[in-house]
Amino acid sequence: MQTYYRNEMELSIEDIQKIKTNSGIIGNSAGLNRAISVAVQVAVTDLSVLVLGESGAGKEKIPQIIHRHSRRAGKTYIAVNCGAIPEGTIDSELFGHVKGAFTNAITERKGYFEEANGGTIFLDEVAELPLPTQARLLRVLESGEFMKVGSSKVEKTDVRIIAATNVNLQERINDGKFREDLFYRLNTVPIIIPPLRERKEDIHLLFRKFARDFADKYNMPAISLTPEATALLESYRWPGNVRELKHVADQISIIEKDRTISAETLKRYLIDIHSSSLPAIINNGGQANDFSTEREILYKVLFDLKKEMDEMKILLNDIIDQNPSIRYSLNNNDNQIITDLSDTLKINTQVTPIHHEPIQYHANTESTNSEIVEEVLSLADQEKDLIVKALAKNKNKRKLAAEELGISERTLYRKIKEMGIGK
């Protein structure tokens, strides 16, 4: 028999722990317990819920808890990744289509809202929905009405809608990419999933669980951490959150022969260990932005490229200093070539960060012969180059390329189209 909770006072620590056990959730942080408590309290209603949190934080668990503790528990539950569906077909996927609505529409098709009638739909990455689809979704939220693609017949559905996003919807609204009225309809009850860096007491628990699961699955001894490695694990920023932590545990479990992991060994698997000490950029809401976004990737590439250019210039100066004959044996015309080369190597290193305050990266000034390198690099070119390399590495599989770049598949599809990649 389904248990309903009427208010937060009735939800004890034992109740929350039981819910976490049934849902496969590990952790005891106050923020996590609060999110689960709110999910259970709102489950007994039909209010729309917006789950907020960074990528990889585990937002998909909350809609499952809400559905399981609602009066719709015995009905259909459908999870939809809005960012993975191409813009041209998403309306058909959500609302269905009639025969002949478009090319290859040889039969009528039910959409998710029709299939889930009486149940729950979880719209993950809801910020990726195109504006026309947002208008259709708003109509469902307001009246339960929708029309199939290619049809003029109004149909009804009774669906509980839970949405999730890892982006700032207010910024999307300001940019004209998300409807403000839809935001307020979805955001009736917001539930915030804290990032892993704010759940330090849960990090080692999760790591041990992932290591033990891997060992059980492949019949091998489980890895363990030294005290120093545990301290490093808990101090790391974890931009990929729980997903990244699991990947690290799996990698170490299969690669390392020594089953006791030191801090030095662990460092090799923390890809963001050097940049994690950089200051986090804080938005108006007071929460650190997600550095696993595509913008962080671009800044990291620019910083690495600038470092390589500095080293090349210093190397060139050293070669000339060690071989004076190279400089003095040149005629006037050749000297002009060297001058032109030096001018070419003067690159502007000023990069504009997310909050539009300039960050200055200075060239290495240890050598008196070195000049300050100024670097002007095109973000668009770097972004295009990253996308091309990711597609090539993953054999043009867009889903894998998008995961490696830290963006949604739909965003990658849009950028490929905008940049003319592959044409």
Per-residue pLDDT, 350:
43
Rounded distance between C-alpha atoms, residue 410 and residue 128, angstroms: 7
pLDDT by position in tens, the chain (length 423)? 344 444 444 578 889 999 999 999 999 999 999 999 999 999 999 999 999 999 999 999 999 999 999 999 999 999 999 999 999 899 999 999 999 888 888 899 999 999 999 999 999 999 999 999 999 999 999 999 999 999 999 999 999 999 999 999 999 999 999 999 999 999 999 999 999 999 999 999 999 999 999 999 999 999 999 999 999 999 999 999 999 999 999 999 999 999 999 999 999 999 766 554 444 443 444 444 444 445 555 655 666 676 667 667 666 666 666 665 555 444 444 444 444 444 444 444 344 444 444 434 344 444 444 443 344 445 667 778 888 888 888 888 888 888 888 788 888 888 888 888 876
Rounded distance between C-alpha atoms, residue 181 and residue 195, angstroms: 28
Per-residue pLDDT, 421:
84
Per-residue pLDDT, 418:
80
Map out the domains of the chain with their CATH numbers. 8-194 (3.40.50.300), 204-277 (1.10.8.60), 294-377 (no CATH), 380-419 (1.10.10)
Sheet holding 160-165, edge to edge: 77-81, 120-124, 160-165, 49-52, 189-192
Q: What's the distance, Cα to Cα, between the start and end of the chain in Å?
A: 58
List own/partner pairs for 211-215 with CB under 8 A and 24 or more apart.
Answer: 211/249, 211/252, 211/253, 214/249, 214/250, 214/253, 214/254, 215/253
Per-residue pLDDT, 351:
41
Q: Alpha carbon of 363 to those of 23, 154, 245, 274, 305: distances in Å?
A: 51, 64, 35, 18, 12
Per-residue pLDDT, 3:
45
Provide CB contacts within 8 A for 154, sequence distance 6+. Answer: 145, 146, 147
Rounded distance between C-alpha atoms, residue 194 and residue 359, angstroms: 28
Q: Give the residue from 374, 27, 28 showing the smallest Cα distance to 209.
A: 27
Per-residue pLDDT, 203:
97
